[in-house]
Structure 1
């Protein structure tokens, strides 16, 4: 059941900094989410991230993640969602950065299912969206795009009652960086904490041609499933 916006805004104890003082602009849901996390070589990663963004680390480790989910109910404040624009499947390849002591994520690639929402998302956010055919069922994800090919089949397992510090570091991120401008500020987002479950793969084939030398996509170090979160985003 959806939480009222007021309840989401009041739930802030898990955040590393306060939510912005001005009003949020976007509402969206990141539903049926799969996280695959990979430890990578920091020197190789440094070549792929703009220099004004510092690589974030957990115990000296650098990470990238494949995150697959269904974007749902996307709409600006005071409007309503339109089905053919507001709901689409998405897969992103992201890494972890910080700027001015504010940790967040930087996207290496974002694939989205529908052409028009992909175009609008790229124009409105400045993030590297590209259209790719995506097929999703309850326990599978298939992407056949120009930048990546993905075939995943999975089983949801037990709920993780107490996520480890590393699991929280990998999932609880509340700012996005575009990386295009050395003077940029973070794009802030807010949601309640992720509800995480263990995950077992029965099929896992992932290939990003541009990043094959960086990541062993067939062997994630950490993985999770979540039913999703309701997200508020600021411009």
Structure 2
């Protein structure tokens, strides 16, 4: 594990700002990640995001993204993973924000596969985790929850050797903001750059109850696949 951490920490040239000076608190892996990206109208998005956060945009467009992945090996520094709690499927719906010109992400929804890890994640991270029934295979992802219904079938296509600005803007985010007027400092994270691939979508059936009237989730503007990243994270 020490070699893994040293490898992560040694690669920082892609970061938009320096890593925190204090010691990292969490280790986790975000594996087999699917990204589906959608443009959204600014006025609609503004109503979904706390007003202490500024909406981030690229070339005048605003975005939200579905990110479906498998969380692995999550544990606190100087402890070890417990398989049931440390490994589960997750789907989040996120958007792109700034506070004091520091870009990050804000989660509109986070759904996780296991009940007890969901409860613990809520308590320890303060992020909006909810339990959902999630199943996945090597080329499919299915979720049925109170907030959403998601069915994805896909094939992994060619690697993106030269990511465009929009690819990097959507993927390379190094802090997470909460829905809080008290704790406005972000949760800092660090990992190596995402290794991105194109994906061919074979089937897509997505419904987010509160947002589907504003976004056609079955027609993403952009999509990616990544084998994943190894992540260290800090508490606020």
1:49 corresponds in structure 2 to 49
Alignment pair present for 1:13 and 2:30: no
Following superposition, the deviation at residue 156 of structure 1 comes to 0.1
SS in 2 for 1:210: coil
Q: State the alpha-carbon separation in 2 of the partners of residues 142 and 178 from structure 1.
A: 26
SS in 2 for 1:27: strand
Contact 1:85–1:117 at 8 Å: present in 2 too? yes
Aligned length: 235
Where do residues 98-177 of structure 1 align in structure 2 (5 Å cutoff)?
Answer: 98-177=98-177
1:189 corresponds in structure 2 to 189
Q: State the alpha-carbon separation in 2 of the partners of residues 64 and 30 from structure 1.
A: 19
Q: State the alpha-carbon separation in 2 of the partners of residues 151 and 7 from structure 1.
A: 35
TM-score (norm 1): 0.98
Deviations 1:182-227 (A, max 9, x none): 5510100000000000001111000001101221101000100000
In structure 1, stretches of 5+ residues that fail to align are none
Q: State the alpha-carbon separation in 1 of the partners of residues 76 and 24 from structure 2.
A: 9
2:64 corresponds in structure 1 to 64
1:83 corresponds in structure 2 to 83
Question: Moved runs in structure 1, 4+ residues, more than 3 A?
Answer: none
Deviations 1:52-93 (A, max 9, x none): 000000011000000000000000011110100000000000
1:30 corresponds in structure 2 to 30
Q: State the alpha-carbon separation in 2 of the partners of residues 85 and 206 from structure 1.
A: 27
SS in 2 for 1:4: helix
- Relative to structure 1, the CA distance from residue 63 to residue 3 in structure 2 (aligned partners, 3 Å threshold; closer, same or farther) is farther
Contact 1:45–1:214 at 8 Å: present in 2 too? no
Q: State the alpha-carbon separation in 2 of the partners of residues 179 and 193 from structure 1.
A: 26
TM-score (norm 2): 0.98
Q: State the alpha-carbon separation in 2 of the partners of residues 155 and 29 from structure 1.
A: 22
Deviations 1:1-31 (A, max 9, x none): x962111101000000000001000000000
